[in-house]
Amino acid sequence: MPFIILDDVRIYYENLGSGRPLVFIHHLAGSFKSWIFQNKYFSSKYSVIVYDLRGHGRSSVLNYPYLIEDHSKDLKGLLEYLRIDNPIIIGHSIGTLIALDYATKFNVEKLVLIGALYKAPDPDPYYNYVRIATSFGMEALAEYRRLHGEFSEALISNYTAWNLLLQVYKENNPLGYKYAVEGLLKSKDYSNDLSKIDEDTLLIYGSEDKLSKNAEIFKQNISKLKLNIISGYGHFLNFEAPEELNNVISNFL
């Protein structure tokens, strides 16, 4: 299994296929497995890099909050190790903040932002998420969020999609989740930095994703932005609507 040691963290990654480099950055409580449908689709034409963020999956769990800048530094180290200096970066949820931080500091060819954030989310629900995860485990957290209507009907009614998300949640360490959340909630507001991004950027939301309200900020500040709303789906398009998502990304590339 391929790992890279970066200062104080061990990062798990996989590199599939060959061609122009696509780097996928997963959601909170995700892993490289969050991109299972994208791996298979894109690795036939591109060099696909997927990895576990610090505190997630098979990567190190460190006992302090993981700032977005820490994740961005990890990404830079991984890409330097792989000798990639102009990647196409595809981020989802927390992965979009990491992508934004990276893109405002280093060269990228293109950006794809799925279910995007531009600043830290409302902290109140996350305090409760951390309490549940650290007290009862990650599966309990997923079930809590399902029972409280925080996932789309398209996700929870799709047996395959729901169980893939549940599997990824269960493979995460509650302490890693805790520190990832604490770092996420300290994220800076990137709205004033978005104008620095002059590369072609694709912004994708499911129509049922509550974060789609952020689209206006991106439209106002990124000059080469294309917005695509995938109707009938929520936040986890990678599981809920993989064919639609793959097609939208492929057409952009």
DSSP 103: H
pTM score above 0.85: yes
Full strand arrangement of the beta sheet holding 47-51: 3-6, 9-16, 47-51, 21-25, 88-92, 110-114, 201-206, 225-230
5 — phi, psi (to 5°)?
-95, 120
Q: What is the pLDDT of residues 93-127, one digit of tens each?
A: 999 999 999 999 999 999 999 999 999 999 999 99
* pLDDT tens sequence for the chain (253 residues): 699 999 889 999 999 999 999 999 999 999 999 999 999 999 999 999 999 999 999 999 999 999 999 999 999 999 999 999 999 999 999 999 999 999 999 999 999 999 999 999 999 999 999 999 999 999 999 999 999 999 999 999 999 999 999 999 999 999 999 999 999 999 999 999 999 999 999 999 999 999 999 999 999 999 999 999 999 999 999 999 999 999 999 999 9
Phi/psi-derived region of residue 232, left when phi > 0, alpha when psi is between -120 and 50, beta in every other case: left
Q: What domain range is 55 assigned to?
A: 3-252
CATH number for position 40: 3.40.50.1820
Torsion of CA 58, 74, 16, 233, to 10 degrees: 80
Residue 230 phi/psi, 5-degree rounding, is -95, 110
- Give the C-alpha distances (Å, rounded to integers) separating 129 from 37, 75, 132, 144, 161: 27, 26, 5, 9, 21
Q: How many domains does the chain have?
A: 1
